[in-house]
Amino acid sequence: MLNKVIQIVTKRLLDREMMTIDIAQDELQFEEKPLLQAKTVRITGVDAVFIEKLVSGERDALFHQWFQLASSYGNKIELILFDSGEPWLQYKDIAAIPFAIFSNSGERLAHVSRNVICYHDIALLPSSSLLCKERDQLVTPLAKESLIQKQIEIWERL
């Protein structure tokens, strides 16, 4: 009997590791159930208000408790924007949020906060990402080479 219980629990844990759940931002109920069902929880249709709430640390207890619970359960949270993120998304917010952020077309957005973007910054980015940089940020030649090699596009803003 004990072996059967162990097998069932093990199977559920393995299934959870492989499962991804998509939840629309406007339907997010901050329930525990999706965190228990899937390792990866994608929040889709994310807008500026949601991003601002994450960055500002606004004390909506339920909102922040849910993300803390997700962290304690080892969930991977992904934010999918309702559009590309241009021009409303603040690049500094990308670096401030501890979750992966994607455009609605699937590109992972990344931002480096330093004035000079080096090779090691690019080496950490997944291929086909989108580097969001300010016009005054410099990119070293080795970093440029890595951007081309990894097929990372650059969005540049004043």
Q: Read out DSSP for 113-141?
A: -SSEE-HHHHHTSPTT-EEEEETT-EE-H
Evaluate the CA torsion angle 68, 70, 75, 81 in order and state its sign: negative
State the average pLDDT over residues 55-84.
Answer: 90
Q: Is the pLDDT of residue 24 over 80?
A: yes
State the average pLDDT over residues 152-156.
Answer: 95
Query: 37, exposed or middle or buried, with CB in 10 Å at 0-12, 13-18, 19+?
Result: middle
Q: What is the pLDDT of residue 26?
A: 95
State pLDDT tens for residues 104-153. 999 999 999 999 999 999 999 999 999 999 999 999 999 999 999 999 99
- CA–CA separation, 118 and 75 (whole Å): 30
Q: Is the pLDDT of residue 76 over 80?
A: yes
Q: What is the pLDDT of residue 64?
A: 86
Quick check: 118 and 94 in contact, CB under 8 A?
Answer: no
Count of beta carbons in the 10 Å neighbourhood of residue 35: 21
pTM of the model: 0.90
Q: Is the pLDDT of residue 57 over 80?
A: no
Q: Is the pLDDT of residue 47 over 90?
A: yes
> Which of 3-7, 55-59, 134-138 has the weakest average pLDDT?
55-59
